[in-house]
Chain A
């Protein structure tokens, strides 16, 4: 029996099988995304409140000598926005059962993720704001917010890797795209959170 015969035997109109545990991964991802959002927003809230208090008291927010350039944060923002398009590409590809394109898209997403880490690390270096200093509150707060977001991004990258491996193993296909959807959801939330950090810390300084 050839492959062609098999395809003939199984009609294309067969109903799509229901996943064994429908939507659980997606629901869990949304809840985890909500947790990540409140965690980061809580820190950002403390950051903004502290900054407002210090500025209201007539002091400078950033210590003298500290400079936060905009080039790197902007490039990161653009890169991450592109990564969302790559994620959409991955989802569309897996829905079309186009595995090669799925892997290329997921790899591209990871590449953007690594670019984020590299650029953030470089930004930390050129900001010239040593965390161990005598300026109460500011450096730990900035590093806490940026570090918390980096943890979220790394978690999202690990999620993408795990779902990519599962797709490679054949678990995800056009008939079950939940894992890739889940990874895309968490990734998108992580990118949106970066945009909040980008505006609150880098743009408004």
Chain B
């Protein structure tokens, strides 16, 4: 159902005394196109965010498409149809993963944060906004170079030494630029909040992006360091052949395996909570509890980095109790967050809109993704029982930790959850970002495709994992029917995810080129809804002052432009004089 004016009037949140201080002029509410020079040098966080959204959604689509191609290649284990050999399959698979993670999902969240966070905390600008712009251009060029390095036979298992080295440098530059952007975001939350906006009052989405940023700032430099090490190893002949370079896929494992990959779920959960608040008309009551739950999930994800599945030959210890514990309990904060938000769903008015549906799906897919940890924990627990209590369980019947595609299932579900979070966020704030309403029907279709894709991919990887499919990109020496069937299902899931990403790209393109609308499709209770869509440079006419986490529900809250108020008073005085 496309959003209409009715959707605004029936929103419970608009029952508050909301008076947008700066409404867009009626004839122009969409984002104004900028000249090329303006685009390159802009320091406006909305413009930077829009550029980042456009590029990362395209890279996400490309990454998922490559992942689907690699998946279908892997569905028939009797030979190679698309890739030339196992090394090229590794390159294909690795390109898909790199693009999805750091060309797509993570930059999409960075983009949303750059755009939305300053508005939600009442800041006039993003901290170090030109630094964020520089980070965008560095990331864009690095991602292009990364793709080029794969095309020229570089990357893990690559045959061309120079391009393998280039891959390491390009990926390090991508991560470095993302870290820089995350520093801009976290600094905005910590230092640029408006008066009265205590840290405990920031909207849940901002809090989610904040813990996402802090976790990324602390975790990603570790990968950058490892990439530096990989650079030296390849450059100076320690990994001389494409076979030996296959281990380089492991560099990214420490951030793409559970529980570190739960990092991708934090913004999804946060966006889901804000979407539930807005689209049920009932703000989530347990604000601080949700903040704590998201913080715990971030702590789990960061702790995951300490259990690196290192590419330098040090697999995680099977008896590592802390890691097993993390796998077992990671779904608890997700479940808690969804339960806290459930009260709004139960007592509010459920409206079938893309942000709400995509957010809910995102939370549920994330829950499934974290629940996979129980499967991951089976092998070490059996090992522990055998070692310490002589339990007599045949270790061959257990699935060996880190050697089956269970990790692929976890990653697929988390990518699905991330994509759903991006769909929910872009549909929720699309009008705020571009001044154009997103098509709800396409959004719902995208959400269905992403949710279905994540679940199907996860299910396929679990099926093949039970058939002892080795952890990708390794190829099984002897294929079984269950293995190939599982791989095929997983490939179909990845293709569905790519379909969801394609629909998202379609929405973004339509939003960038369509007709502007001054009518808000809905209005929330947080600060970004108190200014125009898209907001002007400086975001607010005057710095807002808030007294709660839901300022637009405060009695008499209004941001009044002093100039406009003065002009209005003068007009009123003139009118009185005339009438007198």
Q: Is the CB of B238 closer than 8 A to any CB of chain A?
A: yes
Chain A, 14-42, CB within 8 A of any chain B CB = 21-24, 27-28, 31-32, 34-36, 38-40, 42
Asked if residues B225 and A40 are in contact (CB atoms below 8 Å), the reply is: yes
Cβ distance B168 to chain A, nearest Cβ, rounded Å = 12
Q: Does A128 contact B (CB under 8 A)?
A: no
Chain A residues 165-198 with CB under 8 Å of chain B are: none
What is the number of residues of chain B that contact chain A, defined by CB distance less than 8 Å?
A: 30
Beta-carbon contacts of B280-320 to A below 8 Å, as 1s and 0s? 00000000000000000000000000000010101000000
Whether the Cβ atoms of B233 and A35 lie closer than 8 Å is no
The CA-CA distance from A132 to B310 in the complex, in Å, is 22
B321 interfacial by beta-carbon distance below 8 Å: no
A46-B312 contact given A24-B192, A39-B224, CB 8 Å threshold = yes
In the complex, how many angstroms separate the beta carbon of B218 from the nearest chain A beta carbon?
A: 5
The DSSP consensus for interface residues of chain A is helix
Q: Hey, which chain B residues are within 8 Å of A34, CB to CB?
A: 217-218
Whether the Cβ atoms of A24 and B226 lie closer than 8 Å is: no
Contacts of B217 in A (CB 8 A): 31, 34-35, 38
**Cβ B312 vs Cβ A144 within 8 A:** no
| Beta-carbon contact of B314 and A49 below 8 Å | yes
CA distance A133 to B187 in the complex (A): 44
The B interface, classified by DSSP as helix, strand, loop or mixed, is helix
Output the least CB separation between A116 and chain B (Å). Answer: 19
B543 to chain A, nearest CB (A): 12
Most buried by B among A24, A40, A136, A137: A24
User: Known contacts being A24-B191, A39-B222, is A144 close to B238, with CB within 8 Å?
Assistant: no
A-B contact count (CB 8 A): 86
CB distance from A7 to the nearest CB of B (A): 33
Do A35 and B218 have beta carbons less than 8 Å apart? yes
Residues A24 and B187 in contact, CB atoms below 8 Å apart: yes
What residues of A have a CB within 8 angstroms of the CB of B224 in the complex? Answer: 39
B179 at interface, CB cutoff 8 A: yes
- Check if A161 is an interface residue, CB within 8 A of chain B: no
Chain A hits for B511, CB < 8 A: none
CB distance from A166 to the nearest CB of B (A): 15
Write the B232-246 contact mask toward A (1 if CB under 8 angstroms, else 0). 110011100000000
Q: A21-B127, A39-B221 are in contact. Are A141 and B229 (CB under 8 A)?
A: yes
A137 in complex: contacting residue of B183, B186, B192, B238, CB < 8 Å: B238
Q: Does A115 contact B (CB under 8 A)?
A: no
CB proximity of B229 to chain A, nearest CB, Å: 5
Q: Establish whether residues A140 and B221, one from each chain, have CB atoms under 8 Å apart when the complex forms.
A: no
Q: Does chain B have a CB within 8 A of A143?
A: yes
- CB contacts (< 8 Å) of A36 on chain B: these are 221
User: Which residue of chain B has the shortest Cβ distance to A53 in the bound complex?
Assistant: B314
Let me know if B79 is at the binding interface, CB within 8 A. Answer: no
Asked if A62 CB lies within 8 Å of chain B CBs, one says no
Mask: chain B, 189-227; 1 = CB below 8 Å from A; 0 = not: 011100000000000000000000010011111101110
Q: Write the chain B residue with the least CB distance to A133.
A: B236
Known contacts A27-B190, A31-B187, A132-B236; A144 and B221 CB within 8 A of each other: no
In the complex, the answer to whether A144 meets B225 with C-beta atoms within 8 Å is: yes
**Could you tell me which residues of chain A, from 144 to 158, have a CB within 8 Å of some CB in chain B?**
144, 147-148
Any chain A CB within 8 A of the CB of B128?
yes
Given contacts A39-B221, A137-B312, A147-B228, contact A27 B191 (CB under 8 A): yes
Known: A31-B183, A38-B222, A39-B221. A23 touches B191 (CB 8 A): yes
Q: Assuming A35-B218, A144-B229, what are 5 further A-B pairs, CB within 8 angstroms?
A: A24-B128, A35-B179, A132-B237, A137-B312, A144-B228
The 10 closest A-B pairs by CB, nearest first: A39-B221, A42-B222, A140-B232, A43-B225, A132-B236, A28-B187, A24-B191, A27-B191, A144-B229, A31-B183
